[in-house]
Chain A
Amino acid sequence: MSLAEISLGAAVKRQFLFKMKANIDVYSSLMIMQLLAFAISYGDRIRYAVRDEIFLSKVYYYSVDPVIGITIFWGLVTGITVLTKGYTDTDFTFVTNRLSSTLSNILFLAAVGLAGAIMAMLSKNVILLVALFVDKADVLYGSPMTAGDFFLGTAVVFLYVSLACAIGYFIGALVKLNKIFVFLIPALLIGSLMFDAAQDQWPLLFKVYEFYFHEFSLAIFVVKVLASIILCYLASFLILNRMEIRS
């Protein structure tokens, strides 16, 4: 019998398409979390009133930052999830090796991350609609969003979400290496916060946060984030490439 020869590219493509169809729960969790975040940002809008002799003006500030924040957090969780037992075992039910499994996971995370970023950015339009029709706003002020702004904003959110996915994936890989990381990672994070607090110094975690979030040069930001993403995935692959399945 002749053997089927399959290229890596073909295997990755098939797995990617399969994952887009099979992991429907990833989209639904995204939508639920974004709706929740949206409700929070709407409920949390800052409002105050200005009164003079004639008018009572009500001023509302809206922000969809919580939606973006939640989307980033969702990226982290999704990155971890795709390496839990059910997901990896499923990969190996059909045609795969560890490289094609990782590559298709990266593509899958990129695709859903992009969807998450676009939806988070579009939620700004939704909140403007809500302002118009629910809060019955007469005038809307704010940074008008051009198409260029929208694409740039989406790209930046996409990079953040992708970074979160990559970090989550790396955590997932560490947990696969040894279950002790389930306890070790939170313990280290909380421990470092407490340590820094005891030492009365600016916490390391905040420095990490600043490293990524307080970067004003777009070019440097892109380089920082992309390099981190590549590093996380590469390290994860090196761990996963030796892993046994269903042992």
Chain B
Amino acid sequence: MSAIVECHNLTKKYRTKTVLNNFTATIEENTITGLIGRNGAGKTTLLKILTGYLKETSGKVAVFSERPFNSLKVSANSIFVDDQMSYPPALQLYELIEAAARFYPNFNLKLAKGLFDYFSFDPKGYHKRLSKGQKSTFNAIIGIAARCPLTIFDEPTTGMDEGVRKDFYRALLKDYLEFPRTIIISSHHLNEIEDLIEDVLLLKNGRAFLHLPITELKEYAIAFKGRKDEVLRRIGDRDVLHKQYIGADTMYAVVKNDFQEEDLEQARRSGLEISSVRSSDLFVYLTKPAKGGIDDVFGGN
């Protein structure tokens, strides 16, 4: 396996705002990576740099070992799919598919046609007249059928209804198995993509906060529930990712799971409930702002 995407101390600044801050990560060939992060974490900026839309401010970025900005090689071998994709208004939907097929060498016209019919698009329709969800679906069809060695989906399911979302993820997975490629898919709904992705890249404050296989993320943290003093004693001076009080004296706390099995056994014997943490909950805990929560805005009563 070789690295398709390499970023080293990648930084992107807009006038006064630093969006990516010494971002360092490597994405291997033929993997599906979920890029997750809260709103404004820098997901879209990162993806647009990878496809050569935006120019990095400093640091190193290489896609297929080339700097993406103004690289024809990167453009020919990658596609960036989001809900802002722009098409000439004069062309009908089917003509757009044919145009895409002429541009991307691996484009699978048969697959595109199949998906096009399955989602009942009108070949003579126009892109601007589609609804928000239909636009996303259409763009996703182009993204899947293009079969680009680096395929990037930025919030691909915006506006799609539940059924279409499921179909989309399934279609993506099936075509990935048939024609493996490197896929990056960004989302702030981890639960939606956690069955699809192999790796998670968590972006926080413009940095790669976590980058690990999704299976490890599922075991990354552990939750204790029980008497407050007992919970506090068990977690010691570990960083508490999330805590919640239930009633007067019961505490629920999430910490990083670096316990030995015997420690957990002891904890269980002392009456604590131990459970795993859903990765989508963990995502929220990991990415929450440094202090407080939404309740604090309302005076904390």
Contact = CB atoms under 8 A, between A and B. Distances in A.
Interface in B86-104: 86-91, 95, 99-100, 102-104
A17 to B, nearest CB: 8
Interface string A1-17: 10111101001001001
A97 B70 contact: yes
Interface residues of A, number: 33
A6 B76 contact: yes
Contact of A246 (B48, B88, B105): B48
A242 B52 CA distance: 11
A45 B196 CA distance: 72
Given A8-B72, A14-B102, A97-B71, A22 B88 contact: yes
Given A18-B99, A18-B102, A95 B84 contact: no
Contacts of B102: 14, 17-18
Interface string B13-53: 01000000000000001100000000000000000100011
B181 interface: yes
Interface string B175-215: 00000110000000000000000000000000000000000
Which of B53, B71, B100, B180 counts the most chain A CB atoms within 10 A? Answer: B53
Interface in A211-247: 241-242, 244-247
Contacts, number: 89
Given A3-B149, A244-B53, A22 B91 contact: yes
B106 A4 contact: yes
B9 interface: no
A21 B86 contact: no
Given A89-B86, A93-B85, A242-B55, 11 more contacts: A1-B180, A3-B73, A3-B77, A6-B72, A6-B73, A18-B102, A21-B99, A25-B89, A92-B53, A93-B86, A94-B100
Contacts of B103: 14, 18, 94-95
> On chain B, which size bracket covers the interface?
35 or more
Given A18-B102, A95-B76, A90 B71 contact: no
A170 B105 CA distance: 33
Interface of B: 14, 29-30, 48, 52-55, 64, 70-73, 75-77, 84-91, 95, 99-100, 102-106, 149, 180-181
A245 B85 contact: no
A22 B86 contact: no
A94 to B, nearest CB: 4
A124 interface: no
Nearest to A2: B149
Contact of A11 (B48, B76, B86): B76
A81 to B, nearest CB: 12
